Structure 1
Amino acid sequence: MGDDLPSLLLLPPPPHPATRLALNAAYEPPLKAAISKLKTARSGKNGATLLVGLVSPILTGNYVRQKSLSWPHVQSLLADLYSIISVICVQLSVPTDIHAGPGSVDVRVVLVDHDLSKPLTIDSRPAIEPNNTVIINLPTFVSAYHPWRYIFHANNESGYELLSTYLKLVEGIQPLKQSQIVVVDGGLAVSVGPPVSPRLSPQTNTQPIVCLGGTFDHLHPGHKLLLTAAVLLLKVPEKGAPRPCQFIIGITGDELLKRKKYAEYVQPWDERAMNTIEFLSSILELSKSGWKKSQTIQTIKDNGEFVALFRDGTIEVRCVVIQDAYGPTITTENMDILVVSGETRSGGNAVNERRKELGWRQLETFEVDVLDADGNVHKSSEARDFTQKISSTAIRKQKAESRI
């Protein structure tokens, strides 16, 4: 069994209403148990990787190519999950950034669309069946995500129900030893009233070209939230379409970071771009070969940009060097959505003002919640001081102090 294989934590649907208190009660115990085990388990030089598969009815729509989601609801759920993960890792002194070395646990959340109340049918057998969003169903997840080092599941009724469904689908894909299936504390899931159907929430119009910007230095939970929430806004075309949808990521150039605190620990642009693409592959890559395929991501370096294609060429991720506050948003007219956080909201406004001056249409703006160092989630509507947010600077400081 390979020590460098990722592990899976299967999380059943969230309690309802999905308040932070309820999510903490339901998800903090299993997350803490899985992270604790991986912290002490033998792992490769880059540390352990844990994929958290949150299995819940997320998408609406009766047809494969006509799925939709409520983006505000989903990104809020993601923010709370990454916040809980951040708090646990602080408590356990576990680094969470990518490739942080022995003792670290790189936790990544993958959303899986499935309704446990509906029985499996012949149509549910494992097969890769992408839709017009980046969120996949459970049979597709089982088909493309394997093999695992450990599979953790919650010790409660919904946790065992989810494990049973998963094991029925995984037969013939990965032979599992009993020691690889680990039961962990299921937490307390208290739901008040019937769950609210996703179809009752306002659905979000996805678009072919989404962009955002950042430093993405020492990729941490705040970055993971931002990238995951943003990529959910992509409208994915069918295989064979004339052009892919595009996720354009402006990554701050090395020159602009030379005056940052602890600048000697800033990762080079190429490394930051490749870590960003590697993280996104956890959400976007679908292959029956599982990790064998995703470990060899085909990335082209073109004119100082990194370009990677996923899902049979239907999704293009483009990492672009940015040397100013605008990046590609004022050099490329054809864009649809700009994703910002509360911290970068003013920059988003400036982008649209500049595009207006150029006679270009303004970008639709979506704002992602901000995580702080204490594990609090600050909603997009809040105005606040961002000095306590989870930051690359704090990670660089920690690395500097550990070498003194």
Structure 2
Amino acid sequence: MKHDALPSLLLLPFPPDPLSRSSLDAAYRPSLTATLSKLRRPTGASKLVVAVACPVLHGQFRWSKTLSWPQAQKLVAGVYGLVSVVCAQLGIGTEVDGGPGSVDSTVVLIDHDRSRHFAADFRPAIEPNNTTVVDLPTFASAYHPWASIFHVRSELGLEVYQSYLRFAEGKQTLLHEQLIPVEGGLTMNLAQADASELPAQTSTYPVVCLGGTFDYLHPGHKLLLAAGALLLQVPRKDTSSRPCRYIIGITGDDMLRSKKFADYVQSWEVRARNVLLFLSQVLELSDRGWKKGTTAQVEEQDGDFRATFREGTIQVQCVRIQDAFGPTITVEDIEALVVSGETRSGGQAVNEKRAERGWRTLEVFEVDVLDADEITDEPSKTESFASKISSTTIRQQRAQAAARTKI
């Protein structure tokens, strides 16, 4: 993989506690602004992985980890929201394949407990658990090489950075100019909660479903896809258990012909491939890192693209949908449905249809809607497309750019 095609890494230290959109803004905006400014290239697009170190998982044993989904998605939404705000202010495109000057950013949570001590001779290895979140040693083992590594110039930032470098030793030869310190913000110290104070832990599911258009894959889409992945119950690879299934309904081309700037809607095949490419960055683990490439090995049939990750323990299926229900009323063993703020009513309609069939209803999980406006303390639940990151806006921009070239 060419150096220009490699992603860069921004290591963000522990999030503020208590967590709010305004406290995240104070903690992370300076680091994101500095990093995104440096990655903006007039001659091409850049890629960035934003890794947030935090003790997101709980459980004594590796194969019995749990997380609080509301808390985890709130953190991911907050960081994607900040990325969107900063990019809007700097005039940086955020979609996949956004062209020159764009930065395609992916947010991942890295389970890291400051109180965990490693022996002096500890050698990190890839040790996935029953969730899609991995710990810092596993992340360091599986994600490399990087074009640049950005780290926060603060006490907590340096602590995470030094731990990462120790775990990543031998994975990549790094030059001094590839290690870039950036300014940190103001972060409240983490409160050390005991087990009785932990937020309620969320059940995970063997089959999770969501749907959308996924046109010009942008931070709002990435949040939805990442939040759904957090609900997957990943089986052990050394058992006979079936892989967990992540079913993604993607709106068919015919249903989008009435969209604004419909001539610039990407084809279903392009949208499905971009979904699988994004999820490969979130789900796949290999000791060869990025050298293996993040392009998923996809089985493509008409309206049905499939890929497997983590040695066959996770199966992702993108299916073409031609109505509001898609696979939720054709696949009985779906257990969880992920919706966004503007599609919450669809969850109720789906469960009514399933009840008519005598099927069990789905657990419905709602993610925040990202606003490209300034950060407030409350997550947006707006039904309006005007204030959130929008594929319509991206299509409009492309239409306007095309019109200018004809003048």
* 8 Å Cα contact 1:370-1:378 kept in structure 2: no
In structure 1, the residue matched to 2:100 is: 102
In structure 2, the residue matched to 1:223 is: 221
In structure 1, the residue matched to 2:293 is: 294
Q: Does the alignment pair 1:194 with 2:191? A: yes
Cα separation, partners in 2 of 1:136 and 1:80, compared to 1, 3 Å = same
In structure 2, the residue matched to 1:252 is: 251
Q: Does the alignment pair 1:360 with 2:344? A: no
How many angstroms apart in 2 are the aligned matches of 1:123 and 1:205? 36
Cα separation, partners in 2 of 1:373 and 1:329, compared to 1, 3 Å = same
How many angstroms does 1:380 deviate by? 7.6
How many angstroms does 1:378 deviate by? 9.3
* 8 Å Cα contact 1:56-1:113 kept in structure 2: yes
Cα separation, partners in 2 of 1:377 and 1:353, compared to 1, 3 Å = farther
How many angstroms apart in 2 are the aligned matches of 1:295 and 1:227? 16
For the residue of structure 2 that corresponds to 1:54, the secondary structure is: strand
- The more displaced of 294-303 and 99-108 is 294-303
* 8 Å Cα contact 2:49-2:105 kept in structure 1: yes
How many angstroms does 1:167 deviate by? 1.1
Runs (4+) of structure 1 exceeding 6 A deviation are 377-381
Q: Does the alignment pair 1:370 with 2:359? A: no
- The more displaced of 262-271 and 369-378 is 369-378
Q: How does 1:326-341 map to 2 (within 5 A)?
A: 326-341=325-340
How many angstroms apart in 2 are the aligned matches of 1:378 and 1:211? 29
Counterpart code for 1:3? D
For the residue of structure 1 that corresponds to 2:17, the secondary structure is: coil
* 8 Å Cα contact 2:369-2:382 kept in structure 1: no
In structure 2, the residue matched to 1:388 is: 387
How many angstroms does 1:376 deviate by? 4.7
How many angstroms does 1:195 deviate by? 3.9
Cα separation, partners in 2 of 1:269 and 1:375, compared to 1, 3 Å = farther
Q: Percent identity?
A: 55
Q: How does 1:148-167 map to 2 (within 5 A)?
A: 148-167=146-165
In structure 2, the residue matched to 1:34 is: 35
Calculate the TM-score normalised by the size of structure 2.
Answer: 0.94
How many angstroms apart in 1 are the aligned matches of 2:148 and 2:362? 43
* 8 Å Cα contact 2:341-2:367 kept in structure 1: yes
Q: How does 1:120-139 map to 2 (within 5 A)?
A: 120-121=118-119, 124-139=122-137
* Alignment partner of 1:82 out of 80, 83, 98: 80
In structure 2, the residue matched to 1:22 is: 23
How many angstroms does 1:118 deviate by? 2.9
How many angstroms apart in 2 are the aligned matches of 1:66 and 1:132? 7
Cα separation, partners in 2 of 1:164 and 1:383, compared to 1, 3 Å = closer
* 8 Å Cα contact 2:305-2:319 kept in structure 1: yes
How many angstroms does 1:22 deviate by? 1.5
Cα separation, partners in 2 of 1:375 and 1:381, compared to 1, 3 Å = closer
How many angstroms apart in 1 are the aligned matches of 2:258 and 2:252? 12
How many angstroms apart in 1 are the aligned matches of 2:347 and 2:391? 21
Counterpart code for 1:154? V
* Alignment partner of 2:110 out of 94, 109, 112: 112
In structure 1, the residue matched to 2:282 is: 283
How many angstroms does 1:382 deviate by? 4.6
Q: Give the alignment's Cα RMSD to 1 decimal.
A: 1.9
Counterpart code for 2:129? N
Cα separation, partners in 2 of 1:357 and 1:165, compared to 1, 3 Å = same
Q: Deviations over 1:257-293 (max 9, x none)?
A: 1110001110000000000011111110100111122
How many angstroms does 1:86 deviate by? 0.4
Counterpart code for 2:147? R
Q: Deviations over 1:270-329 (max 9, x none)?
A: 000000011111110100111122334210013520000000000000000000000011
How many angstroms apart in 2 are the aligned matches of 1:296 and 1:39? 23
How many angstroms apart in 2 are the aligned matches of 1:110 and 1:69? 14
Cα separation, partners in 2 of 1:301 and 1:35, compared to 1, 3 Å = same
For the residue of structure 2 that corresponds to 1:396, the secondary structure is: helix
Cα separation, partners in 2 of 1:197 and 1:111, compared to 1, 3 Å = farther
Q: How does 1:205-220 map to 2 (within 5 A)?
A: 205-220=203-218
For the residue of structure 1 that corresponds to 2:64, the secondary structure is: coil
In structure 2, the residue matched to 1:401 is: 400
* 8 Å Cα contact 2:52-2:108 kept in structure 1: yes
How many angstroms apart in 2 are the aligned matches of 1:367 and 1:378? 18
Q: Deviations over 1:27-66 (max 9, x none)?
A: 00011111000003764xxx10000011111100011110
How many angstroms does 1:364 deviate by? 0.7
Calculate the TM-score normalised by the size of structure 1.
Answer: 0.95
How many angstroms apart in 1 are the aligned matches of 2:42 and 2:381? 40
How many angstroms does 1:233 deviate by? 0.2
Q: Deviations over 1:157-187 (max 9, x none)?
A: 1111111111111111111111100000111
What is the total number of aligned residue pairs between the two structures? 400
Counterpart code for 1:246? R
For the residue of structure 2 that corresponds to 1:102, the secondary structure is: coil
Counterpart code for 1:126? P
How many angstroms does 1:15 deviate by? 1.3
How many angstroms apart in 2 are the aligned matches of 1:284 and 1:324? 28
Name structure 1 gaps, 5 residues minimum: none
Counterpart code for 1:223? H
Counterpart code for 1:33? A
How many angstroms apart in 1 are the aligned matches of 2:257 and 2:293? 33
Q: Deviations over 1:196-237 (max 9, x none)?
A: 458711000001000000000000110011110111000000
For the residue of structure 2 that corresponds to 1:32, the secondary structure is: helix
